[in-house]
Amino acid sequence: MSPKQIDGKEVAKHNSMETGVWIVVHVYDMTEFLEEHPGGPDIILQYGGKDATEEYDPIHPPDAIKDNLDPSKHIGTLIPGSLAPPAPAAAPEPVQSTAVVTTGQVAAPQPYVKPDLSEILSLHDFEAVARHTMNRRGWNYYSSGADDEITMRENNTAYQRIWFRPRILRDVTKVDFSTEILGHKSSMPVYITATALGKLGHPEGEVVLTRAAHEHGIIQMIPTLASCGFDEMVDAAAPGQVQFLQLYVNADKSRTKKIIEHAGKRGVKALFITVDAPQLGRREKDMRTKFEGNASSHQTKGGDKVQRDAGAARAISSFIDPSLSWKDIPFLKECAGDMKIILKGVQSWEDAVLAAERGCDGVVLSNHGGRQLDTAPAGITILPEVVAALNQRGLLVPPGKPRFEIMVDGGVRRATDVLKAVALGATAVGVGRPFLYSMSTYGFEGVCHMLQILKDEFEMNMRLIGAPTLTDVVPSMVDISALKVPTVGNTMFGVNYETMYPAGVKAKL
Ligand SMILES: Cc1cc2nc3c(=O)[nH]c(=O)nc-3n(C[C@H](O)[C@H](O)[C@H](O)COP(=O)(O)O)c2cc1C
């Protein structure tokens, strides 16, 4: 039976609790769902009787309505042209630059001129263009970190405290930076880490990254909270293209089981369980986007206290299970079958050891791009002690078993950063925001250009440090004496790589 055709005038009448709240994303009756909506009822009420498609699409996967509403709530499809279009969204504010003229006077602001892609020379350049060209909501969601953003900054600056100890007179005519991540080939020790809401930056969303990952032979981690549907991203992959899945564990375990089993059937090779987000961090920039849009509707019922956790992040994440614990690992492993299980968001050597002891296949040392606990350590700063702790217990290369893999993410912007992580024992690093920024600014070509920049950097830097292959990138190629002051709360390990990487492991981890 074809769906009932609904006139926009009828929809417009259903705009309150009294009349029922119909919204157009194909005309649904949302009245009973108001209180359950993870983003709160206000936002649905705000769109009562209106077309919410433009607001809805970037922050919900395509199946979100089907999965959460009874089919009887689908009232029908809208008669084209029968509902007045919503007021146009505020155009991105043109960013003006202020030029100083030689007389010392300040010249009139100049409109921003987006550079040609060929002028983009580094990953940082994409961020600069994104800051000027993305709409405010997308930029605020992508660029925000938690609280004072100390961890977000540290993620990048920590790499600057590691210095190379380059070797010379080695034949570096040919350099090869290809590797394997969890047993799967990758053209470089870099993967696309999961970042939610790709359509806030590009109308096609995460499938752009899927295609670029294939073009450049790297692995994409599919986010639970993608704007594209999971199947859409798997379908966008080329035959044989390897994909991982990031998983937020749902409080309703049967849903998690269903998602994992479906991922296994669709050929996903590894599950990255996010363990650093039992509650979402306070990302004030993201929260402000909402306050500016509709401040009064974000008051609590008492009217005197501002809701602290609004913003795009909150709107999509309230299903995450805060009771997740080590006890759930056997359940997740059982659901995963042949897929590998990695814990994403490990922030101490103790938890890395626990993960290995509980049979996980690896960890990502990550603080969620500085978006969760502010002043949590950068992954790279704890990498040496994680390697040492696993090694001391025989857990890094367990006899007769595959190596326990350590990955790091956060703040990686140069191939030199990646090489430092590899030297210290990481299999690979995850990169997040640079993919979002390159996609948002120049689409598929932008992402490919970004990956080519990284490849060019690898080639040059491996020559300059004297490493023809990644197995030649060893701990003694980096000086970490400035990385961490070895006192507060960590008396067990020194910082000197000589003690952390004893002779046996020093040659190559
Ligand atoms: C906009 C954005 C959204 C993110 N969404 C998720 C997510 O849904 N799940 C998750 O496990 N991590 C998420 N992350 C964290 C990333 O997987 C990764 O840890 C982080 O981005 C790495 O730092 P970088 O952006 O500096 O490269 C997100 C990060 C950003 C910037």
Per-residue model confidence (pLDDT) at position 103 = 60
pLDDT of residue 128: 98
Give the whole-angstrom CA distance, residue 390 versus residue 501: 11
CATH number of the domain at 5-78, out of 3.40.50.11540, 2.70.70.10, 3.40.640.10, 3.10.120.10? Answer: 3.10.120.10
* Active-site residue flag, 368: yes
Say what the pLDDT of residue 85 is: 62
29 CA distance to ligand 1 centroid (A)?
A: 33
Helical H segments across 47-122, by residue range = 53-59, 64-68
* Closest among 346, 373, 366, 371 to 357, alpha carbons compared: 346
Residues of the chain with CATH 3.20.20.70: 150-504
pLDDT of residue 286: 83
CA of 272 to the centre of ligand 1 (A): 12
Question: How far, in Å, from the CA of 334 to the mean position of ligand 1?
Answer: 26
Residue nearest to atom 27 of ligand 1 (CA): 432
Write the single-letter amino acid at 9: K
Q: What is the pLDDT of residue 5?
A: 78
CA dist 496 and 414 (Å) reads 24
Could you confirm whether 70 is annotated as catalytic? no
Residues of the chain with CATH 3.10.120.10: 5-78
- Ligand 1 geometric centre to CA of 368 (Å): 5
Q: Check residue 6 and give its pLDDT.
A: 77
Residue with CA at minimum distance from ligand 1 atom 15: 368
Residue whose CB lies within 8 A of the most ligand 1 atoms, among 154, 159, 195, for a mutation test: 195
Token digits of residue 292: 């500016």
Q: Identity (one letter) of the amino acid at 369?
A: G
248 given a catalytic annotation: yes
Task: Provide the Cα torsion 171, 175, 176, 177; round to 10°.
Answer: 120
Domain 150-504, classified CATH 3.20.20.70, yes or no: yes
pLDDT in tens, the chain (509 residues): 556 777 777 878 878 777 777 776 666 776 666 555 555 566 677 677 777 776 777 766 666 776 667 777 777 777 877 876 665 444 445 445 544 445 667 677 788 999 999 999 999 999 999 999 999 999 999 999 999 999 999 999 999 999 999 999 999 999 999 999 999 999 999 999 999 999 999 999 999 999 999 999 999 999 999 999 999 999 999 999 999 999 999 989 999 999 999 999 999 999 999 999 999 898 988 887 764 433 333 333 333 333 444 566 665 666 788 999 999 999 999 999 999 999 999 999 999 999 999 999 999 999 999 999 999 999 999 999 999 999 999 999 999 999 999 999 999 999 999 999 999 999 999 999 999 999 999 999 999 999 999 999 999 999 999 999 999 999 999 999 999 754 333 333 444 555 566 554 544 44
Atom nearest to 155 CA in ligand 1: 26
- Please give the distance, rounded to the nearest whole angstrom, from the Cα atom of residue 234 to the centre of ligand 1: 20
For a substitution probing ligand 1, which of 150, 316, 319, 371 has the most ligand atoms within 8 Å of its CB?
A: 371
Residue 152 CA, closest ligand 1 atom number: 26
CA atoms within 13 A on the CB side of 491: 0
Q: Which residue CA neighbors atom 13 of ligand 1 most closely?
A: 195
Give residue 491's pLDDT.
Answer: 37
Measure the CA–CA gap between 383 and 395, rounded to whole angstroms: 15
Distance CA 426, CA 419 (A): 9
Catalytic residue among 125, 368, 437, 497: 368
Q: Which atom of ligand 1 is nearest to the CA of 223?
A: 8
CA distance 4 to 381: 59
pLDDT on residue 382: 97
| Cβ contact 461:416 at 8 Å | yes
Q: Which of 193, 274, 289 to mutate to test the pocket of ligand 1 (most atoms within 8 A of CB)?
A: 193
Ligand 1 neighbours (beta carbon < 6 A) = 141-142, 155, 193-196, 223, 225, 246, 274, 344, 366, 368-369, 371, 409-412, 430-433, 436
